[in-house]
Structure 1
Amino acid sequence: MSQQFNIETVEAAAANPDVEQPWAELGLKEDEYARIREILGRRPTAAELAMYSVMWSEHCSYKSSKVHLRQFGDKLTDEMKKNLMVGIGENAGVTDLGDDWAVTFKVESHNHPSFVEPHQGAATGIGGIVRDIISMGARPVAVMDPLRFGAVEHPDTARVVHGVVAGIGGYGNSLGLPNIGGEVRFDASYQGNPLVNALAVGVLKHEDLRLANASGVGNKVVLFGARTGGDGIGGASVLASESFDDGGKPAKRPSVQVGDPFAEKVLIECCLELFRDSLVEGIQDLGAAGISCATSELASNGEGGMRVELTDVLLRDSTLTPGEILMSESQERMMAVVTPENAERFEAVMAKWDVEYSWLGEVTGDGRLVITWDGETIVDVDPRTVAHDGPVYERPYHRPAWLDDVQADTFRASAAGRDLPQDGPALKAALLELMSAPNMADTSWITKQYDRYVRGNTALASPDDAGVIRVDETTGMGVAVSTDCNDRFAYLDPYTGAQASLAESYRNVTTSGAVPLAVTDCLNFGSPEDPEVMWQFAEAVRGLADACQELGIPVTGGNVSLYNQTGGVAIHPTPTVGVLGRFDDVARRTPSGFGPDADGQAIYLLGTTADELDGSEFARLRGHLGGLPPKLDLAREKLLGELLINASRDGMIDAAHDLAGGGLAATLSEMVLRFGVGARIVLDEVCERDGVDTFTALFSESQARAAVAVPRTEEVRFTDMTTARGFPVARIGVVDAASESLEVQGQFTLPIAQLHQAWEATLPKHFG
């Protein structure tokens, strides 16, 4: 190995305390650098400075958010803990499914890299979240992708969309993982900060569970997978902690990581064989902060320390400095702890899968992380100070003064809310306009680029409300997963908006028939140094923690992505929420549309409708964003979920769809579009009971509502169940396969073919 640079040892750093160091260029604040010197009792070496800079970045340390995230643990009840095997703090949360099965899932962001280089940024986002799942001892079984892009007509949006979709599809398809759902939204607030949130799901037996810790003095530390290169040096960890300037350039532009899905596919199988034969004592994927993260977290979580020889790292680029090797975020790498007795068997597995590896060092008992270069010590730190005891900021925050005016500007009182469509032709035109809008239109231009059914265990996938995967082929047990976020509601009121995002994801899982068990979240916000943005974040976290407590489901893990803003203008608050639920048997899942055998079934609307159009998709069509989001009743959301689960399990419903963006108009449209089966709708009872006009009945976005199709033989049983629980329900129509249209009696008849043509044309028109 012939690197041409000087190596700074710990001894040299101690002997030369006044050497100037580029701490600011590495993203550290002056007081943070001073604290590092205080912790070490000396000046850090160049390698130590590199480690602290990436591990104390916002992306890795959560230094601005952890004081608020503690609520997820503080508000955790005994009931919420009963299925929780691993919670916040590990690579991914793990939930007990029963019958010795467990599931792990998590959502993370790869936002800034996906703006700089959309294809690789999105691809490595999928790769990184999948490795989090592997590191828990699980086999990855599915992915999802909640996405936010800029205005659909902006000239740069196509660049980002094409790159991101190709990156997600190319990596996920190559791994052989079905992409079972997600979201796609367009809004100008994301123009310079698109959001690429990636979720992965994995399954494991209880005995396969692995944690990221280095224990057992004398156990060996090994790095395996791809070689370490110069791609992604400080990439996610530094780039995700920076905002963009007006030209869309980050303050620092590290290279974006480059992924190799075929190398990761081999790595998955290699790891699963290691787990099956119990050949590793602890394991950690290498994502953000690379070797810096893997060594410090393994050592910090363990019982002793670790000693590593950095010259033993296999490199793709021999010119890398020790600091660059520590910070590199090259993909498809894992670090493990192996007993000496298992070393030979470990090497045999590596040989079988043709995976490169290098033994780097061993676990020690001194509580120190020591890294050497050709035997010279270049890092000597307490690993907890790197991985867990970094800065914690209680950022100042306050409610924005402008929010009063925004909330007072209701849709009904605005010019946009006057002269709303009331007669049949106008309502029909409004429905067509709604369903052809970019945020409501058919997303199959995107989802057809993903394999949704590979591996043969997909029971439901996009465009159904939730993705459903079979876990146990013998019993049919499986899981449903949904992701959602209403950023418009969160902009109007972050507390209620975050709860609405959770409620919608929760409803999607229950409409499929699954029992909600766990939550993961990806909290995307602007700069934490802006007190108004920090208030939005604090309120959203408080809202989610309170809602999880009331619904009785825990947050098991997730991600915070801050500094999503350009030129001082932040994105809308975007708390993406994933909910996971359990099926005893996925054969009982409920699709979200009227099936070909549903002719003559009754259509019921569960819940009540109020005049709640602020922040709605119809208001978006009219260029309006103001007022207050719809009111939430989480107790009613929970009761609705129980009704949908019981009705599905007992065969009372053959289709179910939640009401969310676009209201009843969007739900009925999507239900007839799903399989091309028509329906006749009568809204008189809903309008009279709830005191709303036909327009409001169709386009309001009141919460805790769902539409279901009930076989005639089950109507009495179904209505008896809702009556016994005191839940409002109205019979609003019948499935009419022969009509091949959506008819709202007394108002309009819209042929499904015409609706489908408008719905499917939008994304291809913009993106080809």
Structure 2
Amino acid sequence: MLVLPGSSSISYSKREALLRNIKKNCPRVASVDAVWIHLIQCKTPENEVELSKTSSPFRILLDTLLAYGDIILLDGTLAALTAHQNVAYILPRPGSISPWSSKATDIAVLCNLAQRVERLERGTAFIFTTTDYKPITETDIATFDHLIHDRMTQVIDLSPPHQSELFLHEKPKPLRIVELTPQPSSRDDTKARLIIANKELGLALAPDEITYLVDAYVSGKSAMGRNPTDAELFMFAQVNSEHCRHKIFNASWTIDGQVQPSSLFQMIRNTEKISAKGTISAYSDNAAVLEGHSAPRFGVTSGQRYGTKEEDMPILVKVETHNHPTAVSPHPGAATGSGGEIRDEGAVGRGSKPKAGLAGFTVSNLLIPGYEQPWETDFGRPTHIASALDIMIEGPLGASAFNNEFGRPALAGYFRTFSERIPLSVDDSLSEVRGYHKPIMIAGGYGNVRPHFAKKEPIAPGSKIIVLGGPGMLIGLGGGAASSQVSGASSAELDFASVQRDNAEMQRRCQQVIDACVCVEDGNPIESIHDVGAGGLSNALPELVHDSDLGAIFEIRDVLVADSSMSPMEIWCNESQERYVLAVSVDKLEAFVAIAKRERCPFSIVGVATQEQELIVTDRLFNKDVIRLKMSTLFGKPPKMSRKDTSRKIDRVEFDSSLAGHVPSTQSIADRLQPAIERVMRLPSVGSKSFLITIGDRTITGLVTRDQMVGPWQVPVADVAVTRSSYGFDVLCGEAMAMGERTPLALLDAAASARMAVAESLTNLAAAHIGDMSRVKLSANWMCAASKEGEGAALYAAVRAVGFNVDVDALA
């Protein structure tokens, strides 16, 4: 293995900020610098000798590929790096492959290095000096290691990297059996053991689900009479999480002692039920599909040439949140929020095309050091939840970076802060703190789908089931369950383990495969497609075949993985990003394989659909069944959730619009207004959002007609984003989207908050020429934890206040 230093890995400003933060934890650190280090795994020892010679033409080519970025090194950095003095090496976890590696290795192959280079990998070397001139120690590093590495995907070492460690492939961990039936045993003993497993594994199972599983495995009339595997329990927890099944929205409700006639979902779907004009599909796919305009669609024609064809351009629309991951790890959390929403768009029907996106953030008070605002109070937060300031520094960068690298413009967004002590009585004797320590991170957007591929086809028994995209890694484990819990209810380790990591380049390649498939007019190989999100393959693969009332047989060792040490449960349940699952008929498998290889997109044929509705996952390595369940057990319905709540009646203090209670009465109206205006203009929900917009490329695709930056001075004042249906100067039709949110108003009146959010969306959208109001459709995201008395009643009132006629994604 060759180790070649590169350019600086952080800018001047980030280096200074990092040093300040490090010194807070370890005062004896005097300076810090950071350099990329490139790790080249060669095919043979002879290749390594050849590439180690700087005069070799292939070494010159390799150096040219690795010459990027700025070199702003401090004096002495290279000398210290060469001598390995006071250096901390941040490297990918052994056995894993970083997103950079997958891109760089592919580029090296295209540049004729395939015969000499097995793999390129990258790490970072942090070089320190100390005030007492003593070496930096592991104890020192431990005080600030969270500032310089991601503990889920990287390791820290004070020794130089070795090939035997970095490219080591450890033995796979075995399947685990969860013992529920020791002898002698009672039903209560069995339930107690499952409750313990529920806590240890972070499953977030409800009491009725624990009872359901005990009956299914041990105590019921049709019990399987065996212990479950950890993969089965983990899969059940993700598939049946609030995140995936929306149990609260399907629950029956009793408000103020009165049984309510409709569930939340029944109310949401009512408008579409009575007036479905313009809706092609809703509540049945990864995103809703609406009628669009007719336009010349640009793509590969039947003659294998690029061209246009006049056809309808149905619009798909989606919005969802990624709150828990953004709270725990802001940059990757927000990045994979945008990435997951993009995949939802691409996995509509038999394959579709994302077009434009949006992102929004709501957090608690920023409390910027030295710039705290008069209304801000530090109420504290859970220790493993990022601060509001860290979220707003890193989160927007993550969302924008993914959009940019994938190739989709992010055209709209919002930013709100709120954290206040709210009086519950007129005399202020009772109060509570309400805010957004667990932030809201909204990702949304729209795209287009070909009219004849807008709906999924039934999968035929015998069809091959394929995982398309990057290899699995031990990241994003248990995200569906973790995001369904109250923030901080799980352990810090389980919370952090549940956060995915992004690889926009891999997702772009997947999208190119989808694009190529839908260009095949009569021979689209894709019968049905789903994105891989919460729960990983354990949710996506069963759901794919269950939609066609089928079962499937899978082989766990056919799934591509980057970490050979993963157990069957970890392979089956991890949420590694940038993957899709799809069904391809046997007669079109060859065509699909050819497309995937041409686009250099990894894929694996992992199973086959079966007529028998049973889910079987085998493991040829350990010669055991990882999973063997009836589909009716996995997707069965535990007792329907029932919710009771009482409306909260609070005596509120009347708002004093005169400002008399806040400033001396001797001051003039102008004097009173001045500080009020300054406060209002400094409030993030009112002030400039340019930092959310200028960090992204808003011109990519060539179809953007309007983003939020308007006029010759590019002022971020537009309230609506507009795109064209397709290319051409004569194309005068397209799509428009706008956002609305009024969450703090819900503290006073939840129904009014919902109506105001819709009203804001409509008035913002009015800046575009939308024609008839009936063409406007609404996609909404509900935050429905409702963990305090009165919140369930407020949620019910908000849903009742607004009728929706397009897809709604409800997350806890």
Give the structure-1-normalised TM-score.
0.66
One-letter identity of the residue aligned with 1:24: K
Give the C-alpha shift of residue 24 in structure 1: 3.3
2:728 pairs with 1:502: no
Give the C-alpha shift of residue 472 in structure 1: 2.8
Q: Which residue of 1 aligns with 2:400?
A: 169
SS at match of 1:404: coil
Cα pair 1:56 1:391 within 8 Å, conserved: no
Give the C-alpha shift of residue 392 in structure 1: 3.5
Partner Cα separation in structure 1 for residue 559 and residue 493 of structure 2: 30
2:615 pairs with 1:369: yes
Relative to structure 1, the CA distance from residue 245 to residue 330 in structure 2 (aligned partners, 3 Å threshold; closer, same or farther) is: closer
Q: Which residue of 2 aligns with 1:116?
A: 328
Give the C-alpha shift of residue 36 in structure 1: 2.0
Cα pair 1:9 1:377 within 8 Å, conserved: no
Give the C-alpha shift of residue 348 in structure 1: 0.4
Cα pair 1:300 1:384 within 8 Å, conserved: no
Give the C-alpha shift of residue 65 in structure 1: 2.3
1:146-185 equivalent positions in 2, closer than 5 A: 146-153=360-367, 156-185=387-416
Q: Which residue of 2 aligns with 1:350?
A: 596
Q: Which residue of 2 aligns with 1:105?
A: 317
2:780 pairs with 1:521: yes
One-letter identity of the residue aligned with 2:437: G
1:8-47 equivalent positions in 2, closer than 5 A: 20-21=193-194, 22-25=197-200, 26-39=203-216, 41-42=223-224, 43-47=227-231
1:100-124 CA distance string (max 9 Å, x none): 2111111111111111110000000
Q: Which residue of 2 aligns with 1:491?
A: 747
One-letter identity of the residue aligned with 1:505: S
Cα pair 2:173 2:566 within 8 Å, conserved: no
SS at match of 2:688: coil
1:556-605 CA distance string (max 9 Å, x none): 2232232xxxxxxxxxxxxxxxxxxxxxxxxxxxxxxxxxxxxxxxxxxx
SS at match of 2:580: strand
One-letter identity of the residue aligned with 2:723: I
Partner Cα separation in structure 2 for residue 2 and residue 373 of structure 1: 17
Partner Cα separation in structure 2 for residue 506 and residue 16 of structure 1: 64
One-letter identity of the residue aligned with 2:248: S
1:252-279 CA distance string (max 9 Å, x none): 4424111011111111111111222211
Please say which of residues 476-485 and 332-341 is displaced more in the overlay: 476-485
Q: Which residue of 2 aligns with 1:53?
A: 237
Relative to structure 1, the CA distance from residue 234 to residue 480 in structure 2 (aligned partners, 3 Å threshold; closer, same or farther) is: same
Residue correspondences, number: 547
| 1:383 paired residue among 631, 636, 639 | 631
Relative to structure 1, the CA distance from residue 485 to residue 288 in structure 2 (aligned partners, 3 Å threshold; closer, same or farther) is: same
Cα pair 1:178 1:453 within 8 Å, conserved: yes
One-letter identity of the residue aligned with 1:508: N
SS at match of 2:413: strand
Partner Cα separation in structure 2 for residue 388 and residue 352 of structure 1: 41
Q: Which residue of 1 aligns with 2:60?
A: none
Q: Which residue of 2 aligns with 1:469?
A: 723
Partner Cα separation in structure 1 for residue 341 and residue 639 of structure 2: 25
Relative to structure 1, the CA distance from residue 98 to residue 388 in structure 2 (aligned partners, 3 Å threshold; closer, same or farther) is: farther
2:509 pairs with 1:266: yes
Partner Cα separation in structure 1 for residue 230 and residue 741 of structure 2: 42
SS at match of 2:723: strand
Partner Cα separation in structure 2 for residue 184 and residue 395 of structure 1: 32
Give the C-alpha shift of residue 520 in structure 1: 0.8
Relative to structure 1, the CA distance from residue 414 to residue 398 in structure 2 (aligned partners, 3 Å threshold; closer, same or farther) is: farther
2:437 pairs with 1:192: yes
One-letter identity of the residue aligned with 1:29: A
Relative to structure 1, the CA distance from residue 506 to residue 445 in structure 2 (aligned partners, 3 Å threshold; closer, same or farther) is: same
Give the C-alpha shift of residue 327 in structure 1: 1.5
Give the C-alpha shift of residue 299 in structure 1: 2.0
Partner Cα separation in structure 2 for residue 458 and residue 139 of structure 1: 15
SS at match of 1:518: coil
2:352 pairs with 1:138: yes
Percentage identity across paired residues of the two chains: 24
Relative to structure 1, the CA distance from residue 538 to residue 250 in structure 2 (aligned partners, 3 Å threshold; closer, same or farther) is: farther
One-letter identity of the residue aligned with 2:807: G
| 1:223 paired residue among 458, 464, 467 | 467
| 1:332 paired residue among 578, 581, 585 | 578
| 2:476 paired residue among 232, 236, 257 | 232
CA RMSD of aligned residues (A): 3.0
One-letter identity of the residue aligned with 2:359: D
Partner Cα separation in structure 1 for residue 290 and residue 405 of structure 2: 27
1:620-639 equivalent positions in 2, closer than 5 A: none
Cα pair 2:545 2:551 within 8 Å, conserved: yes
Give the C-alpha shift of residue 76 in structure 1: 2.4
Partner Cα separation in structure 2 for residue 174 and residue 421 of structure 1: 54
Q: Which residue of 2 aligns with 1:291?
A: 537
1:199-251 CA distance string (max 9 Å, x none): 0211122113243x76211111011110011011112x122112234999587
SS at match of 2:722: strand
Partner Cα separation in structure 2 for residue 509 and residue 80 of structure 1: 21
Give the C-alpha shift of residue 29 in structure 1: 3.2
1:86-97 equivalent positions in 2, closer than 5 A: 86-97=281-292
One-letter identity of the residue aligned with 1:197: I
Partner Cα separation in structure 2 for residue 122 and residue 279 of structure 1: 32
Cα pair 2:533 2:577 within 8 Å, conserved: yes
Partner Cα separation in structure 1 for residue 476 and residue 632 of structure 2: 24
Partner Cα separation in structure 2 for residue 432 and residue 353 of structure 1: 54
Relative to structure 1, the CA distance from residue 360 to residue 17 in structure 2 (aligned partners, 3 Å threshold; closer, same or farther) is: farther
Partner Cα separation in structure 1 for residue 666 and residue 577 of structure 2: 53
Give the C-alpha shift of residue 125 in structure 1: 0.4
Give the C-alpha shift of residue 376 in structure 1: 3.5
Give the C-alpha shift of residue 15 in structure 1: 11
One-letter identity of the residue aligned with 2:282: G
| 1:312 paired residue among 538, 551, 558 | 558
Partner Cα separation in structure 1 for residue 464 and residue 199 of structure 2: 36
One-letter identity of the residue aligned with 2:204: G
Cα pair 1:61 1:388 within 8 Å, conserved: no
Q: Which residue of 2 aligns with 1:540?
A: 798
Partner Cα separation in structure 2 for residue 421 and residue 460 of structure 1: 45
Give the C-alpha shift of residue 16 in structure 1: 8.9
Partner Cα separation in structure 2 for residue 126 and residue 79 of structure 1: 32
Partner Cα separation in structure 2 for residue 47 and residue 134 of structure 1: 28
Partner Cα separation in structure 2 for residue 421 and residue 196 of structure 1: 42
Relative to structure 1, the CA distance from residue 230 to residue 5 in structure 2 (aligned partners, 3 Å threshold; closer, same or farther) is: closer
2:257 pairs with 1:82: no
One-letter identity of the residue aligned with 1:530: K
SS at match of 1:182: strand
Cα pair 1:397 1:530 within 8 Å, conserved: no
Give the C-alpha shift of residue 426 in structure 1: 5.6
Partner Cα separation in structure 2 for residue 433 and residue 13 of structure 1: 59
Partner Cα separation in structure 2 for residue 270 and residue 124 of structure 1: 20
Extract unaligned runs of 5+ from structure 2.
1-168, 218-222, 252-262, 295-311, 370-386, 420-433, 709-716
Q: Which residue of 1 aligns with 2:297?
A: none
Give the C-alpha shift of residue 425 in structure 1: 6.8
Give the C-alpha shift of residue 428 in structure 1: 6.7
Give the C-alpha shift of residue 493 in structure 1: 0.6
Cα pair 2:659 2:672 within 8 Å, conserved: no
Q: Which residue of 1 aligns with 2:32?
A: none
Cα pair 2:287 2:807 within 8 Å, conserved: yes
Relative to structure 1, the CA distance from residue 388 to residue 163 in structure 2 (aligned partners, 3 Å threshold; closer, same or farther) is: farther
Give the structure-2-normalised TM-score.
0.63
One-letter identity of the residue aligned with 1:177: R
